[in-house]
Amino acid sequence: MSDLDTGEIRTVEIKYFDGTSRTTEIVDREVPYPDGKLIVSRTDPQGIITHANQAFIDMSGYTEEELIGINHYILRHPDMPAVAFKGLWDTIEQGTKWHGFVKNLRKDGAYYWVKATVIPNIRNGKLVGYTSVRRKPSRSKISESEALYKTLLAEE
């Protein structure tokens, strides 16, 4: 858990790139990433979740039924700048692997940090979706990312 957590609850409207938005409660409380686990999910080319492993279900707080069929951006935390996700999509749409540190939003409003890797799934030369694997980040990388994203968010 971060030393900076206040437990404060705030209501925010999160706007997504496709023009939709949702209003939800955000809790300033970190859920620690579990040791030894990998969070694995797959999406179709549009970002709709098609597979979620147990670690993903546990950490996100959603059930498997809730996750399958919705857009991966349901996990987007309002503290994450849009430019970070633009970098992700620009990279994977070129067919290359993307690495980055991401603050994810849980169903209960709390958050968890991950080191994420996303790769395009190519079958017979055709893009069929993306695989995202998340692992435990170091505290120093989380601190660097917090500072960077705060600056980027202020510029948006």
Partner 1 sequence: MTYNLTVSPDFAPDHISGWYFFNTWLQRQLDTGIHLELYDGFDEQRDDIQNNKFDLIYANPYDASMLVRELGFQAIARPADKSDETVIAVNAESSINTVEDLVPGSRISTTDDPDVHTMGMIMLESADLDKTNTQIKEHPSYVVVAKNLLNGDSDAGFFLKDAYDELSDLIRSKMRVLVSSQISVVHHSFLVGPDMVEHVPALQDALFTMHENDKGRGVLESMGISSWEPMDSEQTEFMIDLIDTLID
Considering the complex, what minimum distance in angstroms separates the CB of residue 138 from partner 1? Answer: 5
Find all residues with CB under 8 Å of 31, minimum gap 6, and list them: 1, 59, 106, 110, 111, 112
Find all residues with CB under 8 Å of 82, minimum gap 6, and list them: 17, 156
For position 140 contacting partner 1 by CB under 8 A, the verdict is yes
For position 54 contacting partner 1 by CB under 8 A, the verdict is yes
For position 50 contacting partner 1 by CB under 8 A, the verdict is no
Place of tokens 């849009």: 82
Task: Specify the 3-state DSSP secondary structure of 118.
Answer: strand
Considering the complex, what minimum distance in angstroms separates the CB of residue 57 from partner 1? Answer: 13
Q: Taking CA 152 as the corner, what is the angle to CA 26 and CA 117, rounded to the nearest 5 degrees?
A: 75
Q: List the one residue from 44, 78, 107, 136 that touches partner 1 (CB under 8 A).
A: 136
For position 48 contacting partner 1 by CB under 8 A, the verdict is no
x-marked contacts with partner 1 along 71-110 as a string, rule CB under 8 A: --------------------------x-x-----------
Distance of CA 43 to the CA centre of its chain: 13
| CA distance linking residue 63 with residue 125, whole number of Å | 33
| CA distance linking residue 119 with residue 62, whole number of Å | 23
Binding window for partner 1 (CB under 8 A); candidates: 11-19, 37-45, 66-74, 76-84: 37-45
Considering the complex, what minimum distance in angstroms separates the CB of residue 89 from partner 1? Answer: 17
Length of the chain: 156
* Interface residue list for partner 1 (CB under 8 A): 33, 35-38, 40, 42, 53-55, 97, 99, 115, 117-119, 121, 123, 131-133, 135-141
